[in-house]
Structure 1
Amino acid sequence: MLLLILLLPLAARAADLKVATWNLDWLTTRQAGDRALPRDVTPRSADDFDRLARYARALNADVVAIEEVDGWSVASRLFPRDRYSIHMTHDHVVQRVGIAVRRSLHYDVNPDVTGLGFGHLRSGADITLHLGAADLRVLAVHLKKGCRDRWAVAGSLACRELRDQAQLLADWIAARRQEGAAFLILGDFNRIMDGNDAVLASLRQAAPLVRATEGRSSPCWGNESFIDHILAGGAAAAWMRPETLRVLRYRETDPAWKDRLSDHCPVSVRLAVPDGNGDPHEG
């Protein structure tokens, strides 16, 4: 036993990092009739924001990719600044992408991946987390809607645009592989990636990837296929613990709540990040 105690400090420990993605479905404080909102968008009430904030506390993730959020001030109503730092893309759209990071973690902001946001689409939010002995590149995305389970169907603008986005993501992945970086891509891919999916296959040509949602279905609003995904590459592929995949379901089960909460639930997974100093990060 004494020998084991002496050897323990020499062994690298793993810090538990909980990462999540959450599409918040046109989360904004704009009022009905605002020209920036579609007519079928239901503005949130103060009670709706309070409920979502409680779900954010229950999620209790270290890093959360957020989609369809109308800026920093709106995001901070769910992820208060005393507990989270929030980085948002610089897009001039209502449906912005961002990343909420627990205050105990440190990160650098990389330039937005603006190529994803051509036309009316959304850029990617890109940061580098500094986790003791390891760095982790994190890219949050919200890809083109309308091509869930098809690939470049003739005449389908949505699929052509998604294919262009997939090529740009593959280039981003190839650059991370060349750097030898650990990385995550997470968010709303608007794509079912089960089976021999062409989008996932194109990304895996750039580097080996582990998908947390592989072989699983989402219980969010019923037994449905995932379109929100968490992909890990480089060293992070070995850090990901797919058995920890969780979907935080809403207690409100009537479909009418989709407009007041979200039509997406938070999806999370845990990473075992090596820490050469043996200092656990707050999780």
Structure 2
Amino acid sequence: MKNHTLFAAFALLAASCTGTIHPGTEHAPTLKLAAWNVEHLAEVDGTGCRPRTEADYEAMRAYVADLSADVIAFQEVESKAAAERVFDPAIYTVVIEDRVGTDRRGACRGREGLTINAQRTGFAIRNGIPFERQPDFTDLQVGNPDLRSGVDLVIRPRGGEPVRVLSVHLKSGCSSGDRNDACAVLFQQVPIMERWIDERAAEGVRFAVMGDFNRRLAMPDDAVWADWDDASPPNADLALASGEQSAQCNPRYRHFIDFIVLDRRATADFRGFEEKTFGGEALSDHCAVSARLSLR
């Protein structure tokens, strides 16, 4: 794909895979963006498809503190109260999608006796960073109230240019190819997502789409990525912050499905990527990924 090689070369110049900044920019101010699917984060201990104890929530809070991101796009969160058990309100302001859904509390697949809670997208924004909420991107639901919408913000870091960010969680079950029922739904979302990208690319603010795409976008000739990364308008010349790296979160899965997608302007400000793995027991079936952008 056209800009994987270009972006990989840029990333080698700008930063290492651990987020190390290129010499000469170590002290330049940056904004750290992150995305984390927290896997069925419930509001109440012992509930949902991933029942947790207070010790689990405490470990997740420590993970977020160590991640030390300024803006975190999250997925699979039951409620604002659930998010605030992980994203400390003393540090972060939580914004979560308004979607209600159909309150479908069916059984969790392969987990007898457990019931699924709502899965919502949202953001945790470090307190003191100004932002403006835009209307939720409900078109991504393609008419299904149980599919996730996107949460859309304009972040206005002090001392830097704004960046528009969108937290997404696309249809699961179509990580590659296009031949199953899940793919039929995902491929309805693809042109809708492209429209949002193109509209933002035509505006005057750099942007990043962040979250769980449920798609191996970095695979050669991926049809979804080819549709989005078409450089039309010119700022829709996109880059994956992870470049050509392999995922390290789970040895069973070497391809990322969680991404931070940067437009051409944000790519010029890119200063480093990191996948934050777990030091011990996995706290989620996804690890957080992050990218640093210079404030300019």
TM-score of the two chains, using structure 1 as the length reference: 0.82
Write the distance in 2 (CA, Å) between the matches of 1:72 and 1:238: 34
Tell me the residue number matched to 1:198.
223
Write the distance in 1 (CA, Å) between the matches of 2:264 and 2:170: 22
Gaps of 5+ in 1: 1-12, 275-283
Gaps of 5+ in 2: 1-26, 102-117
- State the shift of 1:14 in Å: 5.0
Write the distance in 2 (CA, Å) between the matches of 1:169 and 1:230: 14
Counterpart contact for 2:206–2:265, Cα < 8 Å: yes
- State the shift of 1:15 in Å: 2.6
What secondary structure is seen at the aligned counterpart in 2 of 1:97? strand
What secondary structure is seen at the aligned counterpart in 1 of 2:152? strand
What secondary structure is seen at the aligned counterpart in 1 of 2:162? strand
Tell me the residue number matched to 1:166.
190
Counterpart contact for 2:38–2:284, Cα < 8 Å: yes
**Which residues in structure 2 correspond to 1:53-202 (within 5 Å)?**
53-93=61-101, 94-117=118-141, 118-119=143-144, 120-131=146-157, 132-151=159-178, 153=179, 156-193=180-217, 194-202=219-227
Q: Deviations over 1:141-192 (max 9, x none)?
A: 00000000113x2xx2211211111111110011112213200001000011
Are 1:215 and 2:244 counterparts? yes
RMSD of aligned alpha carbons:
1.7
Change (3 A) 1:252 1:191: same
Are 1:267 and 2:292 counterparts? no
Counterpart contact for 1:114–1:124, Cα < 8 Å: yes
What amino acid is aligned across from residue 268 of structure 2 in structure 1?
A: A
Write the distance in 1 (CA, Å) between the matches of 2:54 and 2:44: 12
**Match among 50, 54, 64 for residue 46 of structure 1:** 54
More strand by share: 1
Write the distance in 2 (CA, Å) between the matches of 1:160 and 1:30: 35
Write the distance in 1 (CA, Å) between the matches of 2:95 and 2:268: 26
Write the distance in 1 (CA, Å) between the matches of 2:183 and 2:84: 34
Write the distance in 1 (CA, Å) between the matches of 2:140 and 2:123: 16
Q: Deviations over 1:74-131 (max 9, x none)?
A: 1111111121111110012511000111112100000000011231210001000112
Write the distance in 1 (CA, Å) between the matches of 2:132 and 2:155: 7
Write the distance in 2 (CA, Å) between the matches of 1:81 and 1:61: 14
What amino acid is aligned across from residue 152 of structure 2 in structure 1?
A: D
Counterpart contact for 2:151–2:168, Cα < 8 Å: yes
Counterpart contact for 1:123–1:141, Cα < 8 Å: yes
What amino acid is aligned across from residue 211 of structure 1 in structure 2?
A: L
What secondary structure is seen at the aligned counterpart in 2 of 1:214? coil
Counterpart contact for 1:23–1:67, Cα < 8 Å: yes
**Identity among equivalent pairs (%):** 35
What secondary structure is seen at the aligned counterpart in 2 of 1:235? helix
What amino acid is aligned across from residue 228 of structure 1 in structure 2?
A: D
Counterpart contact for 1:85–1:103, Cα < 8 Å: yes
What secondary structure is seen at the aligned counterpart in 2 of 1:24? strand
